[in-house]
Every structure is written in structure tokens, then in C-alpha cells.
Structure 1
């Protein structure tokens, strides 16, 4: 019943998140006269963060999804409330890595270090740019990012409703449809799991019990989780953004149940096969889906602000 209540709450805010009026303010080059060096500053900062930690890029990319999918792309995931009632302390966000938050805070500090840019660029836009850099600097596509978001002022535990690792295709489609995204968008965005890792607790129940998991892969995971608490989402090309995630699914080597179901379900298998055989198509659809995701729940000057500190409303 609790899950149903949360799902109902999610559906209740769908209309707010899909408002086309706020998204219409977004455009590339939004900061051309406000902060002309913005993209170069963020690019350099993210590059430095990724050089310091292999977790930084994947964590920043995941942070972007966890932000946009909850209250819209308003950097509410970054807020730290004194009463501990904020998004990142919801159990569904507890697996977010500190390196992701640190990457955004470092980029924000670098932007504000430029006198022309100081306190003029939203944390939400920095988060969107950092996600792009995480992808492109890992060998993935470079794409133009629409900008012009304002930061939200509200972050609560109860607002967090996200897909779970045991979701089937219908549940995944229902969630992403609520964000205005298609099944094709959802599968392309899932390809972001070519980067990063997952804690063993998220997939351990599948080992030896899920017939869709390759037996050799199951043996490998059992050994991995006996040594450490996590496994790479795409061990074939760790640290590289490519289409090997989809090739893994074809071989029963999807780490999460919600990944592998994209291949086991005949309704989505064709798209998996297409991306596995055509990396350019995956890259193109991924960038389109990221652009659409970046339009969800955009705030304006009327209901948002430019946060001086990403961790707290002004």
C-alpha cells in the first residue's frame, strides 16, 4: 500500500513536471552574454574531478537523472535540509555517491570564481552540463545542452519515487511515460549504465535464481560480491561510454533485473539489438532522450532562483 501511495503521489505531479511553458525558455547559448566561458569552465572542472576519481563521471550522470525524475531538473537533489527531510536522504537516493555531489559543487565553485559569472548560473544548469561532460569525456557523444533552468527551493524525502531494480517493462514504461519519455527514450537512457557500478544488494538475489542471467556471469558475480560490495554495470569496457551495455544484455550479462528485462521482453528486444549493432544510433537516441529529460519540471524566475550555494536555498 505504501508503494501505491507513493506511485499516486508521483502521478499527481506529472502535470506540473510536463509544463511546456517553462521548458520553452530553454535554449543553447542561454549564457552567451551572461557567462560566455561557462561551458569551458564546467568542462575543465569535470575533467579534473574525473581525473581525481573514476566514480566522478558516472556519479554525476546518475545525479542528473535522479534530480530530473523527481521534482524536475531543478537541482533539488543537491539541497541539504537541517531537519534531514531532503531527497538525497530518501532510501532510493542513498546509493548516490559523494563524488557526484562533489563534482557539481566543484564546478559551481569554478563558475562562481569567474567575476562575470558569479551567482548568475543555476546549479540545475551546471548539473546538466556536468552530465554531458561525464558522457563525452568517457568517449560518448558530445551534444548541445539547452540551458536556462532556475533552481528549485524544495526538497523532501516523500517526493522521491524512482524505478526499482525489479521493475518489469510495463512498470518502466509507466514511469518514463510520466516524464514524457517513450520506451525508446527509456532504453536509450538505460544505456547510461555502460558507466558506473551497482551495490551487490541490488542484484544479489538474481544470482543463481534468475534464468535470464548467464550462468558464467552468475559465478563471476558471486565471486565478486564475496570480495567487495559492488560490481561494474558494464565490466566489458569499464570507464568507457559505448554500446557494450546492450551487447551484455544479449548475452544475459545485464547486472540489474530492470536492465536484463529490456532483452528478455520481446517488446523491447528489437531496440536492444538495434543499439547493440549500431552505436551511432544509440548515441543519437541517447542525446535526444537526455535533451527531453532535461526539459522535465523546469523552473522559471517565478518559482525558482539562482542558488548561491547548491546545498541550500537562498
Structure 2
């Protein structure tokens, strides 16, 4: 009898673990809000389009916000939480201080527009709104449209300390990048595809100044940098530059979601070490070369990668809720 009870208990436990491991993917589905807030995608898209008309920064700002959110405690909108006297939140970690305010503003305005519809009020998570807005800004920049899986809950925790070691750094090599993405269930191919988001947006000079002034005692300028490009960077970012100055990450087509990022890498025009290493490392170079010449292949890989990114650390059940205010816990 004791053995029988033990067997039943173990069977129940294994089934529970199986169900738990699959519950996140079961919960995420494109039509999650079909009977709750059927017009949610159109509402969010309208807000995004209006924001983009006001400022282009909305596009890279929102895309980067999604990535920074998902890599720290999962895609749960915890990066949007504002710090309080008792808690320094994720957004105030040094790695997040350069996140553009327009990304946050897009989600907050979209949430307000969704909640203005009585049947939708307090029914749609900030995490899902961010995921939808991310797809919409990619489309606004000329990138691929794709189906967004929905059903995330908003996280219950946001601390600056939780960000440490979770985000890729501009000095990372291929092994460091691959390892960090693998921790989030993403392959090297996914990593190279998501790096293609650097075809949009900007960077502050201090993030790459070491490459143009003090790379090494022998080579003050990183020898993998295109020489003409290095001179341009020095002109735009002199040694005593205002730290608020930012430059485009893609010097060729900075406002268009395209595969020119990979063509730039072939020419030594990757802004960060972590960009250029995708071409200089022989293990990743074939993919860079493929996507530099095949836009459709890149767009397809990007959709696969950002869909997988949207599944990272999704909160379900009692692990999350739907915030009334995206910047404040309920």
C-alpha cells in the first residue's frame, strides 16, 4: 500500500512538472484576447503609429525596451516599473539608463488607450502591450510583420540588482554572446538575427570610445574597424564629447529595418566589438554573409528569433498579474 501511494505520488508529481513546463507555451497564443478585448491589436497599433509620427526614436526605443525586459526576469514588463524610496527598479540599473523614454511612453499610452475601452479595462497586461508594440515598430520601420503570441502576465518584482550580468555588453566576444543567449533558450543563429536590430537606433559615444581611442597599446584604433569609418566616429565623438551625444548604429540606412547591418559588418562598420565579432569570428561569418546578400532569409530568421524571445520567462498564474499602471505594482 505504501509503495502504491508512493508510485501515485511520483506519477502525480511528474505529470505536474510536465504540465508546468508546458503551461507557458499553452498559455501564449495569438488569439488570447479574442473574447476579452478583441480589438487590442488595432488599438496598440494606432498608438504606435501616432507616436512614430511624433518621433522616430519610438521605433528603436520600443524594440530595445522589449529586449531589455525579456532578458531580465523574462518578458513581464518589469523594466517599466518606476523606482520608489524603498526600491531601485530595473530601469535605474546603469545598463538601462540609456533606454529611450519614448519606448516607455509608447507602452504607457497604449495601455491607457486599451483601458479606455470598458470591456478591455484591466484585462490586458503591460507585457503583452509591449510585445505588440515591438512588432508594430518593426513594421513601421519597414521590417516584417509577424504574429505575436499573447497571454503574458506582468511581473511582481523589479530590482536594479537583478539586471547585473543579464544583458550583453558592447565588448562581448562570440562565446560570451552565445552563452548569454543560450541561458534564455536562444541559439547562436537567434542571437545573430536579434543583433540585426542594430540596423535601427543609436548609441552614446562612451559605449565604443575604447575602439577609436585606446583599443590597445599597439593599436589605439581597433584594427577591425574600417579606417574611414573610424575617422568619422572620431569626428562625431571627440575625446571630450558631451556624454548625451548619440550617433546612429547603422551609418548607412539608420531609419530602415533592413539587412544593411550585415553588409556594414562585412565592411568593418560594426559599431560595437559585439557587432563586428559576428563577422570577424569564422564561426558566425557564414550567417552574416548569407543575410547580407539575402534579405528574405534575415527577415525570416528575425521573426523566428523575436518570437522565441517573447517566450522567455513568461509569468503565469500566481507568478504575475495585470497591472493597472504599467509603471507601478498593483
What TM-score does the superposition give when structure 1 sets the normalisation length?
Answer: 0.92
Q: Counterpart of 1:310?
A: 326
What is the rounded CA distance, in whole Å, between the counterparts of 1:84 and 1:216 in structure 2?
46
Secondary structure of the 2:71 match is: helix
In 1, are the aligned partners of 2:253 and 2:260 still within 8 Å (CA)? yes
Conserved 8 A contact 1:68-1:297: yes
Structure 2 equivalent of residue 191 of structure 1 = 196
Deviation sequence 1:185-242 (CA, Å, 0-9, x none): 0000000111100000001110152111000000111111247621101121121100
Equivalences for residues 266-281 of structure 1 within 5 A: 266-281=282-297
In the TM superposition, what is the alpha-carbon distance from 1:81 to its structure 2 partner? 3.0
Deviation at 1:23, TM superposition (A): 3.0
Q: State the Cα deviation string for residues 255-302 of structure 1 (Å, max 9, x = none).
A: 111001100100000000011010101000000001101001001122
**Alignment partners' CA distance in 2, 1:148 and 1:172:** 29
- Residue 225 of structure 2 is matched in structure 1 by 213
Alignment of 1:221-240 (within 5 A): 221-226=233-238, 229-240=245-256
Q: Tell me if structure 2 keeps the 8 A contact 1:72–1:298.
A: yes
Say if 2:100 is the partner of 1:100. no
Deviation at 1:113, TM superposition (A): 1.1
Quote the Cα distance in structure 2 between the aligned partners of 1:112 and 1:239.
Answer: 31
1:158-169 alignment, distance < 5 Å? 158-160=161-163, 161-169=166-174
Q: 1:19 to 1:165 in 2, by over 3 A?
A: farther
Aligned length: 297
Give secondary structure in 2 for the equivalent of 1:254: coil
Q: Which of 280, 304, 307 is the equivalent residue of 1:288?
A: 304
1:302 is paired with a residue of what secondary structure? helix
Q: Deviations over 1:22-43 (max 9, x none)?
A: 2321001111111111100100
Correspondence 1:79 to 2:81: yes
Distance 1:23 1:149 in 2: 10
Cα deviations across residues 141-196 of structure 1 (Å, max 9, x unaligned)? Answer: 00000000000010011110211100000000000000000000000000011110
Assess if the C-alpha contact under 8 Å between 2:221 and 2:230 holds in 1: no
Q: Which residue pairs with 2:29 in the alignment?
A: 27
Q: 2:47 matched to 1:45?
A: yes
Q: Is the 8 A contact 1:19 1:297 kept in 2?
A: no
Greater displacement, 22-31 / 263-272: 22-31
* DSSP-derived class of the 1:173 partner: helix
Provide runs of 4+ in structure 1 moved above 3 Å: none
Q: Aligned partners of 1:121, 1:185: CA distance in 2, in Å? A: 28
SS of 1:231 mapped into structure 2: strand
Gaps spanning 5+ residues in structure 1: where? Answer: 1-17
Residue in structure 2 matched with residue 56 of structure 1 by the alignment: 58
Q: Hey, what's the Cα distance between the residues in 1 that align with 2:182 and 2:235? A: 37
Relative to structure 1, the CA distance from residue 220 to residue 43 in structure 2 (aligned partners, 3 Å threshold; closer, same or farther) is: same
CA distance in 1, matches of 2:21, 2:282: 33
State whether residues 115 and 122 of structure 2, in contact with CA within 8 Å, keep that contact through their aligned partners in structure 1: yes
Structure 2: how far apart are the matches of 1:103 and 1:120? 18
Aligned match of 1:252: 268
* Gap regions ≥5 residues in structure 2: 1-19, 213-219
Aligned counterpart for 1:265 among listed residues 238, 261, 281 = 281
Look at both structures and tell me which one has the larger radius of gyration over its CA atoms: 2
Q: CA RMSD in A?
A: 1.3
SS at match of 1:70: coil
